[in-house]
Structure 1
Amino acid sequence: MTSKSPYRSFSALFLTTLLMLVAQGSLSTYLGLSLAQQNVDSVWIGAMMSCYYFGLVLGSKLGHKVIARVGHIRAFVASAAIVSACATSHVLTQQLEIWLVMRVIVGMGMMCQYMVLESWLNEQSESSQRGTVFAAYMITSYLGMIGGQIMLSQFPALGIAPLLIISMCYSLCIVPIALTTRIHPAPLQPAPLKILAFWKLVPQSLTAVTVAGMMAGSFYGLAPAYAASKGMTTEQVTLFMSTTILAGLLAQWPMGKISDRIPRGRILRFNAAALTILTLFIALLPLSGIGLIVATFFYGILAFTLYPIASAFANQNVEQNDRVALSATILLTFGLGASLGPLLASTLMQLIGPAMLYAFISCCAFSLFLRLLRVNYTQKQAKRMMEEQQNAQFKMGSGDLVSSPLAAALDPRVDQDVVTAQMRDDDFIATRQQVPAGYDEDIDFQAIEDDYDSLTNTYRTAKTPADS
């Protein structure tokens, strides 16, 4: 059970998260700036980020097995040690192929660490405090990423010093969680994946999650190179990145409140349309200085709120027992999008120019907008057709005799012999005589014959006055 103050109760996990994200936030920017300074092709920079997110996807499966086998703390310690060693290895070699392998391993280790922290917080926070706990976790994560950018700004020439500090943060994040006095959470149970089923159930949400992943992967991996191509110094690049991340942090709470009042599908369409216009302006206009900072601030507000809104939109449309599987599907979808985005964006940047980063993001946002419009229209049409069918099924007749065989019986224009022949099904009687007794206990043939005789007598009684 948690204490009255969730911040104090989970202080060790929050401190671990802060140190871990300081290292992660600065490492991605460091690699992008380092490769840009060496005039390495943009494709390699994009591949670095794609490999990281590909590692996250792989780690989502491996992490469950490791945590179930050795427990949360041991899994976290082992992952942090491996990630720390991979970060330091960038000092030892400039071989880009080896860097790609290291990024995959870092992604796998980071996913295992995320799973330890989030499953721990989710299990041991009380229901009345879970929202507060995870809000604090997200704020801590954003502050850690901003802190990583600030740390990196103190080393304009880059060098090996930032990598050493990054490695130190990855190592030190072990200490709070290793010394915590909290009870260890229960081992994780693998969550089943129902990708196709959820794509049919919540297509708008998963489309938005995919595009949000493509945008996030492209921005974190290639924005430092884009900013460096605009002539920014290391300090200005880190300010550029910090401003975008800070905007995303500040937008989480108010956007969450807005999404509770306005339909989330409508907010997703608005964000997609606004992102299309904003990023197109960034790509086409020669923005620099304060103008570019303001533009990236609004980009952070719109782009970094796509994922939480889409996730909430998906969860409101599924049953409670499907939400664990949905969370696994959302994480996998986001990771796949984030793996693909940097590769495509970096290829365009290499062929056409750095501005294609935001042109690519604009195309992604526009595609998302069109997709959301189409799915929303299709769902509304299907809902309207279902309502019309339901209404048609419950329409009442003009009288009880409209659909009754007596309607024909009471009509003086109908010949009695014709009606009798039509009401008496000779084929049915012949078939009935061939069925063995007791063949189907669910069908009461005697009751059917009695009803028929009663209906015939009623017909004759009703018909006689008309003949007289």
Structure 2
Amino acid sequence: MKLITKLFPSATSGLHASVFKLMTSISIVCGGNSLLTTQVSLHLSSGTFSPLSIQIVLTGFPMGFLLGCVSASTIVRRLGNAITCWLAIAAMACATLGFSFLDDPALLFSLRIINGLAMAVLFINCESWINGYASPENRGAYFALYMIATSLGALLGQIVSGLNADHQRIGFALAFAIVIVGLGYGYVTVGRWPRTASSQEAPASELRERRKITPLQLVLLVPLTVIGVLQAGTTNMNFYSLMPLYGSGVGLPAATTVALMTTFSLGGVLAQVPIGWLSGSLDRRVILMFQGSGVVIFCALIPWLSAENPILLFPVFFVYGATALTIYPIAVAYAGSRVNRELMATVSGYLLLVYSLTNISTPGLASGLMTHVAPQALFLTLGCGGLLLAMAACLSLRRDLRADDRPGGLTEGF
């Protein structure tokens, strides 16, 4: 309790309980979504779907996620945070249930659109609550709690997938049950949506004046962050969606493939705190340069390791996850050091759109390369993103701009 009090010095004990229950609910739902994503990929790799059908179904989730990014702000404004949260989880549950009964690619594509839309609305709703209602001294702690909750949820989904890798229908039912548990737990235990009393928003007209920044200005202002978000979106969507197809293509058992994905996720979860601490003492561009270089090395190493000795892959996937899954927070933190605080809400929206567009555009490309070239093309795609990030970070350091973490306005450059 003393640790909680230090993290949330101005909040009440009732708020502590509500926030942690809400984050627990979100974590459970993310576990169901993670399990569903893996089970969908395993189902698609069963041999009953054509390559075109696989590409179409895999595009559904990122397309829905993009639609959620575009519509979430309107939904939250009209319904409020609490109703939006529960409706998003309910929509996720309904779509998840459909996978237990349907096999038509067009219907699966539609269900994945609903999944993506619901998860985007849920994420943006929670992040908007943190930005809008948490006090300045609590905001960072709430975001840390939120990131840990979503990461642990994804890890939970991978663990459950490993226990049920060969039975997709049962996996779909488990995913539905997990989402329902998350919805029921949150709705019953959270009660009234948690709010802090210390946050005071400026008038809407004043906020609009402060937050004027165009996408082009964002690219010119923090191109390194945009590239980092592109790399993160490419990795997160393609790895979790296509790794089962890769494993099937190179002869890995389904259980081993899921175990490797779990190891990858575990590396990312355990690395969040040390990498975040390191970013407070080092130039974030240096960290991004090493992260990009590491991604290139691991993506070149993985295809060379023999599928007959998968034990060699586990330490590689662990360190790969620790490297690749921490790029997004470092890149966004770097943007925070270059952009005025008043602009960060708008910048975050643009970055999430970039992330979503990457999710839509790259799975079809990667799966097409895997089908027509070789399964190893998955890591060729991921490695190219890491190379681009490392080069951008090197260019930024070479230009020797102002020191990292110095507050700035709309100054162009990396």
Is residue 2:115 matched to residue 1:115? no
Check if 1:221 corresponds to 2:230. no
Matched, 1:19 2:28: yes
Return the offset for 1:323: 0.9
Aligned to 2:169: 160
Counterpart for residue 354 of structure 2:
333
CA-CA distance at 1:254 after TM superposition:
0.7
Alpha-carbon separation, structure 2, partners of 1:65 and 1:382:
38
- Of 263, 271, 274, the match for 1:251: 271
Distance 2:192 2:242 in 1: 40
The structure 2 residue matched to 1:260, chosen from 238, 262, 280, is 280
1:355 maps to which residue?
376
Distance in 1 of aligned mates of 2:77 and 2:138: 26
Q: Is the 8 A contact 1:7 1:133 kept in 2?
A: no
Q: Secondary structure at the match of 2:99?
A: helix
Q: Percent identity?
A: 24
**Among candidates 295, 309, 331, match of residue 275 of structure 1:** 295
Q: Using the alignment, how far apart are the partners of 1:244 and 1:107 within structure 2?
A: 22
TM-score, normalization by structure 1: 0.75
Residue 37 (structure 1) aligns with? 46
2:85 alignment partner, one of 64, 76, 88? 76
Instruction: Output aligned runs, 1:302-313, within 5 Å.
Output: 302-313=323-334
For residue 375 of structure 2, give the secondary structure of its aligned residue in structure 1. Answer: coil
- Answer yes or no: is 1:65 the counterpart of 2:61: no
Runs (5+) with no aligned partner, structure 1: 384-468
**Structure having the higher Rg:** 1
* Alpha-carbon separation, structure 1, partners of 2:133 and 2:175: 30
Q: Does 1:93 align with 2:113?
A: no
Q: CA deviation at 1:159?
A: 3.9
Deviations 1:338-378 (A, max 9, x none): 2222121111101111111112211222233233334544x
Tell me the alpha carbon deviations over residues 385-418 of structure 1, each in whole angstroms, 9 at most, x when there is no partner: xxxxxxxxxxxxxxxxxxxxxxxxxxxxxxxxxx
Q: What is the one-letter code of the residue matched to 1:366? A: L
1:181 aligns with 2:174: no
Cα 1:9–1:70 shift into 2, 3 Å: closer
Match of 1:278, as an amino acid? F
- The C-alpha deviation readout for 1:237-275, integer Å capped at 9, x for no partner, is 221111100100111111111111111111111111121
Moved more, 205-214 or 245-254: 205-214
Letter in 2 for 1:262: L
Which amino acid in 2 is paired with 1:300? G
How many pairs align? Answer: 382
Q: 1:412-459, CA deviations, whole angstroms, 9 ceiling, x for partnerless residues?
A: xxxxxxxxxxxxxxxxxxxxxxxxxxxxxxxxxxxxxxxxxxxxxxxx
Q: How many Å separate the matches in 1 of 2:317 and 2:402? A: 39
The corresponding residue for 1:426 is none
The one of 290, 297, 304 aligned to 2:318: 297
TM (norm. structure 2) is: 0.84
SS of alignment partner, residue 232 of structure 1: coil
8 Å Cα contact 1:41-1:350 kept in structure 2: no
Deviating more after overlay: 95-104 vs 364-373 = 364-373
Query: What's the counterpart of residue 339 of structure 2?
Result: 318
Displacement of 1:41 after TM fit? 4.7
Q: Please say if residues 22 and 186 of structure 2, whose CA atoms lie closer than 8 Å, have aligned partners that are also in contact.
A: yes
Structure 1 residues 195, 376: closer, same or farther in 2, change over 3 A? farther
How much has 1:192 moved relative to structure 2? 6.4
How big is the shift at 1:150?
1.9
The reply to whether residue 132 of structure 1 matches residue 141 of structure 2 is: yes
Question: Secondary structure at the residue paired with 1:128?
Answer: helix
Q: For the structure 1 residues 51 and 375, does the alpha-carbon distance in structure 2 shift closer, same or farther, using more than 3 Å as the test? A: farther
- Separation of aligned partners in 2, 1:85 and 1:362: 36
Q: Provide the rounded CA distance (Å) in 2 between the counterparts of 1:6 and 1:265.
A: 37
Which amino acid in 1 is paired with 2:75?
A: V
When residues 27 and 381 of structure 1 are mapped into structure 2, their CA distance, relative to the original with a 3 A threshold, is: closer
Superposition deviation, residue 24 in structure 1: 0.5
Contact 1:192/1:328, CA 8 A, preserved across alignment: no
Mapped partners of 2:95, 2:338: distance in 1:
41
In the alignment, is the contact (CA less than 8 A) between 1:214 and 1:337 conserved in 2?
Answer: yes
Q: CA deviation at 1:235?
A: 2.7
Residues in 2 aligned to 1:75 and 1:5: alpha-carbon distance in whole angstroms: 22
Deviation at 1:101, TM superposition (A): 1.9
Partner of 1:231: 251
Displacement of 1:172 = 2.8
What per-residue deviation string (whole Å, max 9, x for no partner) do you get for residues 158-215 of structure 1?
1422212211222232224333234565999998662111101111111111122112
1:201 and 2:221 equivalent?
Answer: yes
SS in 2 for 1:92: coil
What per-residue deviation string (whole Å, max 9, x for no partner) do you get for residues 25-83 of structure 1?
A: 10110011111122535554454343212211211121111121122222222222222
Letter in structure 1 aligned against 2:393: L
CA distance in 2, matches of 1:235, 1:278: 22
Is this contact kept in 1: 2:229–2:355, CA < 8 A?
Answer: yes
Question: For residue 233 of structure 2, what is the amino acid of its counterpart?
Answer: G
Residue type at the aligned position of 2:391 = L
C-alpha separation in 1, matches of 2:283 and 2:55: 35
Match of 2:391 in 1: 370
Instruction: Report the Cα distance in structure 2 between the residues aligned to 1:244 and 1:72, rounded to whole angstroms.
Output: 32
What is the one-letter code of the residue matched to 1:294? P
2:407 is aligned to none
**1:291-347 CA-partner distances (Å, limit 9, x unpaired):** 111111111011111111100011100111111111111111111112222121111
- Counterpart in the other structure of 1:413: none
Q: Is 1:10 aligned to residue 31 of structure 2?
A: no
